[in-house]
Structure 1
Amino acid sequence: MPNAAKADLLLVVVTLLAAVSWIMSKEAVMIMPPLLFMGLRFLLASGLLAVIGWQHLRQLDAYAIKRSMVAGLVFALGMSLWVMGLFTGTHVGEGAFLTSLGVVLVPVIGKLFFGEKQTRSNWLALPFAVVGLALLSLKNGFNPEVGQWFYVTAAFVFALFYRLNTSAANQTVRQLANGQQHVVAGVPPIALTSIVLAMVGIVASIISLVFEPWQKTMAEFSGAMFGWIVASAIIGTAARFLIQTYAQSLSQHTHGVVILVVEPVWVALLAAAWYGESMSGQQLVGCSLILLSLLVSRAKALKALLRLEG
């Protein structure tokens, strides 16, 4: 199987794991402080991957660690914004669609900040995504909920993270002080994922220590809290982000990451089954336009697939 097709298939698996993680996280933040949950969840996941991938971690040089930590810090900011959206928002399915806008913004980030060439289909997809976002998020007119602002801001940060994570996972050329260039190998996926998740866990824990009531939470710590933390750490964090990083390592371009926009489809279905959520007609049109943006952005790949099947 070609690397591009393999990466797309793995990213679909990632969207399923991510959708399950949304439900786990929503359940957890209803019974414990959101940033404390994030800190414990990501530190546990990072520790698990560090044990498994210790040999890879030991072989990293300072430059590889720096690249991984930068990606991790950006991701930590995005996840902190996301979990506050989850905590303050009232609609899980809607939040998933808003956050998914981050993958549609990847081409913009890649072009503006990294000079990465983009396909015409990627640019054509953006208007559909923007209109879809407006229909989805502005159900209350021009007075969106606080949680929506957290989700949208997180989307922009995630777009930057996807680009940094792809760059760290792939071979790059480093400009040395003496003017020479040095080819640097990509950071192994399990090592990169472990460091990135550790940064999220550390940042979220520090913010939680300052702003959240740890003592009260620890005094009321329950089996349900422990269960959601462990399940989220293993399924929704360690497995999900390791597979995602590996998929991103299969290509030096960020085009394939746009497939992650499928995530909110699964979230909406799970939210309907788990919480009995529903969407208005306007919101459904918005969701459809965001999904249409995915199809437009992947038009070239879909045409090639249809030719093969024909």
Structure 2
Amino acid sequence: MGSLQRRADLLLVATTLIAGFGWVFSKESLQGMPPFGFIGLRFLLAGVFLLPFCVWQRSRIALSAVPGIIGVGCLQALSLLLWILAVSLSHALGEGAFIMSLSMLFVPLVAWVLLRLKPTRPFWESLPLALLGLAMLTLTQGWRISASQCWFLGAALAQAVYFCVNSRYALSLPVLPLTCIQLFCTGICGVIISVCFETWPSVIHASIWLWFVASAIIATSIRFLLQIAGQKRTSVANAAIIMVLEPVWTVILSALWYGEKMPTQKAVGCMLIMLALVLYRGRQYLLLKRLNA
């Protein structure tokens, strides 16, 4: 059992590292592709890649559940389209990754509004730290925040709404077809918006297509498969804490790849957000353990 647990933890650590690389893959792809078109094609290709696994497992869902899944897929599309818009405007991927990580702290507030589930004490204990960290991360020029930071915040909020609604569907439906349909929804939404509002370049360099394929196959399809495999063999709380590593990897990779520098104030803001997330997830785990004892 201990060996399986360690293997699951390593799979989840690998998932966060791949997710960090995904930020770089996406930013590089945007050097030659329009943002919404990139997201559309990326998630269509990722859906096609996962489709054979659905057929192989013979996973089936009722036709009556499909409209609801498509609706949830549209929420995922909203979150990702806001995210890619923010990435296309941002000059600091690590900063954006930490803002996006706040979505897990937005989830209890969204669940309170949508599902009437009152946030637990660990949430209220962690929230002030997260807000202070966000302020230090974003308000480096007085009370002004950049457009990309606003879009990252919007994407994080949309992701929290998607997470709450999707959690209800994931309880009763097979994971792979649920994921696959949502990938196709996001892809179709991105392509439609791109066709309506974006202009594609006449020629896209081969290197851009390589970054695109890496983003679709490695950072989307393989990442999802590793995450599903890891989550099956470890606790939710353990998985949640490991997933906090994603913005850390993103900061490291963006510093190595783009030479991004983080001023002291922003670095402290990132550390406060990280501390808030770890505190929230750790305290939430202890609370659940005490209730189940």
TM-score grouping bracket, smaller chain normalisation: 0.7 to 0.9
Write the letter of the residue equivalent to 1:239.
I
Q: Please name the residue that 1:192 is paired with.
A: 178
- Corresponding residue SS for 2:244: helix
Distance in 2, matches of 1:144 and 1:21, equals 25
Distance in 1, matches of 2:137 and 2:45, equals 34
Query: Which ranges of structure 2 fall in alignment gaps of 5 or more residues?
Result: 288-293
Write the letter of the residue equivalent to 1:79.
L
Q: 1:163 to 1:196 in 2, by over 3 A?
A: same
Query: Is the Cα contact below 8 Å between 1:107 and 1:255 reproduced in 2?
Result: no
Write the letter of the residue equivalent to 1:47.
V
Q: Please name the residue that 1:173 is paired with.
A: none
Q: Please name the residue that 1:291 is paired with.
A: 274
Match among 249, 252, 256 for residue 269 of structure 1: 252
Distance in 2, matches of 1:272 and 1:210, equals 35
1:77 aligns with 2:59: no
Distance in 2, matches of 1:65 and 1:56, equals 19
Write the letter of the residue equivalent to 1:159.
A
Matched-pair identity in %: 38
Q: Please name the residue that 2:197 is paired with.
A: 211
Quote the offset at 1:208 in angstroms: 0.7
Q: Please name the residue that 1:120 is paired with.
A: 121
Distance in 2, matches of 1:129 and 1:161, equals 21
- Which TM-score applies when normalising by structure 2? 0.87
- Corresponding residue SS for 1:32: coil
Distance in 1, matches of 2:113 and 2:62, equals 29
- Corresponding residue SS for 2:111: helix
Write the letter of the residue equivalent to 1:65.
V
1:41 aligns with 2:27: no
Query: Is the Cα contact below 8 Å between 2:241 and 2:278 reproduced in 1?
Result: no
- Corresponding residue SS for 1:94: helix
Q: 1:159 to 1:244 in 2, by over 3 A?
A: farther
1:202 aligns with 2:203: no
Quote the offset at 1:84 in angstroms: 0.5
Match among 228, 234, 250 for residue 217 of structure 2: 234
Distance in 1, matches of 2:119 and 2:232, equals 18
Query: Is the Cα contact below 8 Å between 1:56 and 1:191 reproduced in 2?
Result: no
Aligned residues: 286
Query: Is the Cα contact below 8 Å between 2:35 and 2:84 reproduced in 1?
Result: yes
Distance in 1, matches of 2:67 and 2:229, equals 19
Query: Is the Cα contact below 8 Å between 2:103 and 2:157 reproduced in 1?
Result: yes
- Which TM-score applies when normalising by structure 1? 0.82
Query: Is the Cα contact below 8 Å between 2:40 and 2:191 reproduced in 1?
Result: yes
Quote the offset at 1:111 in angstroms: 2.6
Shifted more, 160-169 versus 223-232: the winner is 160-169
Q: 1:243 to 1:70 in 2, by over 3 A?
A: farther
Q: Which has the higher contact order (CA 8 A, sep 6+)?
A: 2
Quote the offset at 1:160 in angstroms: 1.2
Q: What's the CA shift string for 1:180-204, capped at 9, x where partnerless? A: xxxxxx2222111111111111111
Query: Is the Cα contact below 8 Å between 1:16 and 1:266 reproduced in 2?
Result: yes
Query: Which ranges of structure 1 fall in alignment gaps of 5 or more residues?
Result: 171-185, 305-310
Write the letter of the residue equivalent to 1:231.
A
Write the letter of the residue equivalent to 1:234.
I
Q: Please name the residue that 1:106 is paired with.
A: 107
